[in-house]
Amino acid sequence: MSKPRITVLGSYNTDLTTFTPRMPQPGETILGSGFKTGPGGKGSNQAVAAARVGAWVSFVGRIGQDMFGEMALRTWKEAGVDTACVRQSSEQATGVATILVDSHGENMIVVASGANFAVSPADVEAAADAIANSKVVLTQLETPLPAVRRLLELGRAQGVLTILNPAPGQPLDRDLLALCDIITPNQTEAEIITGVPSTDAESAARALREHGARTVVMTLGGEGVLLYDDQGPRRFAAFKVDRVVDTTGAGDAFNGALAVALAEGRSMPDAIRFASATGAISVTRPGATESMPTRAEVDALLASAG
C-alpha cells in the first residue's frame, strides 16, 4: 500500500521533563529523580506519530531561530516529516513545555508557546497545495484559533477529511465545530466545550454532535474510547500494558495514528483499534516524541492481541 498524505497544523515545543516521586504542593520544593530534554508539542508529536506509522506528513507551524528550533528540524528530518511549510521566526523563541512526571506516569505540564502563537491563517494558506494533496488534515489548539479555523476551512473546501483534537481544552463556537468531520476530545476537553459533566461521556459526545461535529472519538484513558456517530454511541476497550511509564504524548500518538488509519481507508472501528494500540505502546516509554512507535511495533501488538 502506498503511503497516504496528511497535513498537520500545530505546535512544536521543546519538552523539559523532570521525573519526581510525586507532584509537589503549592510552595513546596521536592527532589526529582531525573531530568531530560526532548522534542514535543502536540502538533509535532502527532506529525511524528503519523510519519512513523505510515504516512507522508507535511507540517505547518513556526519555530524560533534558536537551538530548540534546530532540535525541531533534526527531529522532523529523522522522522521523515516535510518541513517546507514550517517558518522560522527571528522575533519569537521556540515553544517550551515544562513537564513533571510522577512515579505513576501521570504528568503536569506548563507551556510557554513562543513562536507557536505567531502561526497565522497566511501560514495555512501558504500550505494550500499540501492540504489539497492530503487525505486528512489534523490540528489541535496550541496554535491560534484563526489558523486552526483556516486549516479546517481549506480542508473542507478541498474535500479532505478534517480532524480536530481540541487540546488544550477551550470553548469553541458552533461554526468551527461544524468544520470538523471528526473531533477527538478527552472527557475534560468535552466538558469545557459543551458544559456537560465529564462523568457523563455519552451526553457530552451527543452534545458535540448537536453543536456541529459530525463524528466524536472521545478518549477515556484506561477506559478506552467512545465513538459517537450516526450509529449512536459505541465503546472500544483500551489495550492493556504491563507498566505505564509516562502518559505524556499518548493522546498525540492516538491522534496521529487515527489520521493515518483513516487516510488508508480503514473503517472507524479499525482505525480506533489501530490508534489505541499506538497510544498504548507510547505510555510504556518516557518522553513524548521519543515514545512514538513504528508501524512494525503497532502491527506486532495488533497481531498478538488477535
Residues recognised as catalytic? 252
CA dist 58 and 231 (Å) reads: 33
Classified as helix, coil or strand, 100 is: strand
Rounded Cα–Cα distance for residues 183 and 93 (Å): 30
How many beta carbons lie within 10 A of that of residue 108, not counting itself? 12
Distance set, CA 74 to CA 71, 142, 180, 305 (Å) = 5, 21, 31, 34
Alpha-carbon gap, residue 243 to 51, rounded angstroms = 26
Residues 6+ apart with CB under 8 A from 156: 162, 179, 181
Alpha-helix residue ranges (DSSP H) falling in 196-267: 201-210, 250-263
Rg, Å, the chain Cα set: 18
CA angle 130, 134, 139 (to 5 degrees): 85
Q: How far apart are CA 296 and CA 79, in angstroms?
A: 15
